[in-house]
Structure 1
Amino acid sequence: MTIIVFGATGMVGKQLVQQALFKGYSVKAFGRNVFSEFDTDTKNLELIKGALFDEGEVQDAIKGCDAVLSALGGGFDGNDKTRTLGIKNIIAQMKKNGVQRIVAIGGMGVLNADEDTLILDTENYPKEMIPVGKEHQQAYQYLKESGVDFTFVCPPAIKDHEATGAFTTNADYLPEPNNNIINSGDLALFMLNELEKNEYVKKRVGISN
């Protein structure tokens, strides 16, 4: 399988690249600083320096891939549109290349609190997290309307730690038990496993260690 990782130089992105290579995938790592973060001689790894908002560069990067993994990050004040416009461009270029599968990272606020309310819209949701929560919500909307086979993973706080394999997941709602933290390695492990198992296609996923 050939996959491409957007946000490859971030905390989760690095884990995705490393674990995917360990699984024997051919991996494309896309980003502005990939050549300073990865060894250019790594077997089965192609480094692609590019701009996320550039349609041509993203289209060329996705060409020949079987699936897309998005670990896009950015600011928390609502002014950084990496998560929304980035996903929008990725989806458009997936369609041009005939690539149907994407597993992407969102945020816990996009999960359901109940049948009618997102966690993002509840009274206790941290006010300082609302702008980035709205960005995640818009990214989810783009995915829902796209027609691609997406899985939108909605983690709580992410800890920079290796995979343990000890985590819980749930479709569209918080998992049980929920400890409000997930290791970056476990988040990456779930995303890669989901590419193979397809248990949460066109679903949001709550996850926790």
Structure 2
Amino acid sequence: MKLTVFGATGQVGLQVIKQALWQQHEVTAFGRNVFDIKMDDPNLHLFKGALFDEEDVAAVLQDSNAVISAIGGAFDGSDKARSLGIKTIIAQMKKAGIRRIIALGGMGILNADEDTLLMDTPSYPAEYIPVGNEHRKAYEYLRDSDLDCTFVCSPDIINDGPTGNYITSHNYPPAPNRYKINAGDLAQFMLNELEKNEYVKARVGISAV
């Protein structure tokens, strides 16, 4: 499979690339600092570009089969990389005829109940609201796009490799929930989901066990 990875230089993006190459996928990593990636593999291609530049995004998507987005940004919500970046990617995916995208977001946009998101409950930590709003906008763009999207709603991310010991659930936090997950396990789930397609057009709750 030919994959394009956005947010390639972050902790989850780097894990996605490592594991995708091990699985013999052809990977194109996209980003401003993408040449900081020091991996020597003939199936890895580095594309230096700007996330808000439509021409750059269109160019990197040529011949791709699917997209994985691990876009990060400021925790205080002061930049719009997560939301407007996804909006740009969606537009160019549609033009290129690419339908499958798996994107990383935050746990706050999972359901607390049928009518309320976790981030809209009174007990949700106020310091997570700004970044939660970015995740909410990114998810809404994906939900309304009609693409075959999966939105992975991560708790706190530990910068460590895969263990394979995690649980997932549709649209709600998993139970039990340890409120943390390794970057490597997020990457493992995202790549497995490309093959299994168990969470198409859904949010995913995930937690270490």
TM-score with structure 2 length normalisation? Answer: 0.98
Contact kept? 2:170, 2:199, Cα under 8 Å: yes
Aligned equivalents of 1:38, 1:139: Cα separation in 2: 29
SS at match of 1:146: coil
Aligned equivalents of 1:69, 1:122: Cα separation in 2: 30
Gaps of 5+ in 2: none
Alignment root-mean-square deviation, CA: 0.7
1:43 Cα deviation from its structure 2 partner: 1.5
Percent identity, aligned pairs only, is: 61
1:36 Cα deviation from its structure 2 partner: 1.8
Aligned equivalents of 2:38, 2:124: Cα separation in 1: 37
Runs of at least 4 residues off by over 4 Å: none
Once the two structures are superposed, what CA deviation does each residue of 1:50-102 show, in whole Å capped at 9, x if it has no partner?
A: 00000000001011000000000000222210000000000000001000000
Contact kept? 2:157, 2:183, Cα under 8 Å: yes
Partner of 2:6: 6
Partner of 2:151: 152
Partner of 1:31: 31
Partner of 2:201: 202
Aligned equivalents of 1:23, 1:47: Cα separation in 2: 18
Aligned equivalents of 2:36, 2:78: Cα separation in 1: 27
Aligned equivalents of 2:45, 2:56: Cα separation in 1: 14
Aligned equivalents of 1:208, 1:69: Cα separation in 2: 19
SS at match of 1:106: strand
1:38 Cα deviation from its structure 2 partner: 2.5
Partner of 1:100: 99
Aligned equivalents of 1:78, 1:166: Cα separation in 2: 31
Once the two structures are superposed, what CA deviation does each residue of 1:94-122 show, in whole Å capped at 9, x if it has no partner?
A: 00100000000010000000011000101
Whether 1:127 and 2:134 are equivalent positions in the alignment is no
SS at match of 1:47: strand
Aligned equivalents of 1:93, 1:119: Cα separation in 2: 31
Amino acid at match of 1:31: G
Aligned equivalents of 2:59, 2:72: Cα separation in 1: 22
TM-score with structure 1 length normalisation? Answer: 0.98
1:42 Cα deviation from its structure 2 partner: 1.8
Aligned equivalents of 1:42, 1:19: Cα separation in 2: 12
1:23 Cα deviation from its structure 2 partner: 0.3
Aligned equivalents of 1:104, 1:190: Cα separation in 2: 11
Amino acid at match of 1:8: A
Partner of 2:22: 22
Aligned equivalents of 1:126, 1:52: Cα separation in 2: 29
Aligned equivalents of 2:11, 2:198: Cα separation in 1: 24
1:138 Cα deviation from its structure 2 partner: 0.5
Contact kept? 2:9, 2:36, Cα under 8 Å: no
1:130 Cα deviation from its structure 2 partner: 0.3
Task: Give the 5 Å matches for 1:57-206.
Answer: 57-206=56-205
Aligned equivalents of 1:33, 1:141: Cα separation in 2: 28
